[in-house]
Amino acid sequence: MGNDFSEDVRGDRGWTGWWVQRIAWFAEAGDILVLPVRPDVAFLEYVTSLTGLSPADLTVVVPPVHPGSEGTLSPARLADPQFVEALTEAVGGREVTHLSGLWPDAAVARLARTIGVTSAMPGHGFVDQAGGVMVNSKSAFRTIAGGVGVPLPDGAVCTGKQAAEDAIRRLLPGGPVVVKHDYLSGGRGNEILTLGEPFRPIGARRVITVTDPADVRAWLDERWEWVTASGRGRPVVERYVRDSSAFFSEFLVQEDGVRLLGDGELLSAPYAVGQIMPAQGLEPEVLDQIVEGGRCLAAALQGLGYRGVLCPDAIVTPERDVLFTEFNGRVTGSTHIYGCIGGRVVGEGFGKDRLILERVWPEGCAVGSFTAARTAVEAAGLAYDPDSRTGVVFTNAFDHTNGVMYCVVAENLDAAWACDRELKALFSR
């Protein structure tokens, strides 16, 4: 199921028709992919050429469009009788052995019940009762992290405007404070308050200087509707540690335990601009803290009944302290890159003699289509070469606003950044 965020937590949906097509990286022969839009044929052909399949090996089902949900798999579209009939016909007499969504939405659980395959959906009971909302909530993360004892930045989950004001005023004398939207991602839900001079934000929208308590209250009055998602979420207030680096560890939470899938560094300027996988240059003991703290969080959610991918994020401070900042209970923007491109395309050398630098489309660059991007990269000799196991891999379908997301497979970071600079020059306006 190529779905995006649940409409229970975010209203900015509908732009993700290109983004969810990354589900093609996970596909095996005979799979049925449910997408909100017809897939970019050029992208699907490209992915299957690298994974050893053909587009003919896959069945794509697109539900009828409902007004306002053209680019997303809304609950109404997933419950549409025409869609249910088409999906049932696509399954035919075969046994369904696995059903899941990129995001653990209760609407997917309801569909599983409708077509009689709840046993094929790991953690169905948890997702059916809106568990996806909990495992993608920054406030729920702090509650669970506090309970199991993983290290956190000083802060609080705020159940009201006064609680938020009290937390901000308590923390501000010690340095900048970040206020986080419960559900937005990539740093777009964060704003920083400081008593000092403004500075360049990393992982946040902006930095606001406040000089007295009235400024804090004024900011909250202005931004409360936004930061609470019109009352759907509980904002988080916490210490913002400047000059920190961000990392993730990702786990598969299953009935019989928790398995580490991968790790990497998260790059922001100020929003998410890329990743390095696996993480490079960390002291072994620091990486161990990131992984073991993540494992502790995954084990806690396993005990609650969650099944699927869990990605805890952490920062490493200049003093080399590890502090956890959130978790994401979904197939993330990292999973297909280290798991499929790294594990399946690059092969067992990934993480040993090859690493991956993932990048969003650079500012100031332009391309007209997926085919145009692929043709240009191949003509420049930058495309991924299975023999050398190096080069550029396009990770997603074409987005008319942002071009094509991509990654660079290389022997080391210097080589990866050099290739990235060549790519940027190739597409500069």
Is the CB of residue 313 less than 8 Å from the CB of residue 325? Answer: yes
The answer, yes or no, to whether residue 410 has pLDDT greater than 80, is yes
Is the pTM of the predicted complex or chain greater than 0.85? yes
| CATH 2.40.50 holds for 348-429 | no
Query: What value does the mean pLDDT take over residues 111-118?
Result: 98
Determine the Cα angle at 67 with ends 62 and 70, to 5°. Answer: 40
Q: For tokens 């609080």, what's the residue? A: 156
Report residue 217's pLDDT band, with 50, 70 and 90 as the boundaries: very high
> CATH second-level architecture of 154-239?
2-Layer Sandwich (3.30)
Tell me, what's the pLDDT at 213? 87
- Across the chain, what does the average pLDDT equal? 95
> Of all helices (H) and strands (E), which one includes residue 226?
helix 213-227
Is the CB of residue 276 less than 8 Å from the CB of residue 357? Answer: yes
pLDDT tens digits, one per residue of 323-362? 999 999 999 999 999 999 999 999 999 999 999 999 998 8
For 322, the 3-state DSSP assignment is strand
Q: From CA 390, how far away is CA 419, in angstroms rounded?
A: 10
Count other C-beta atoms under 10 Å from residue 127's C-beta: 29
DSSP structure string for 24-93: GGG--TT-EEE-SS---HHHHHHHHHHHT--GGG-EEE-PPP-TT-TTS--HHHHT-HHHHHHHHHHHTT
> Of all residues in the chain, what percent carry a pLDDT higher than 70?
99
**Annotated domain spans of the chain:** 19-134, 154-239, 242-329, 348-429
- Is the four-CA dihedral 365, 369, 372, 376 of positive or negative sign? positive
The answer, yes or no, to whether residue 425 has pLDDT greater than 90, is yes
| CATH 3.30.470.20 holds for 242-329 | yes
Tell me, what's the pLDDT at 231? 87
The answer, yes or no, to whether residue 14 has pLDDT greater than 80, is no
The answer, yes or no, to whether residue 13 has pLDDT greater than 70, is no
Report residue 34's pLDDT band, with 50, 70 and 90 as the boundaries: very high
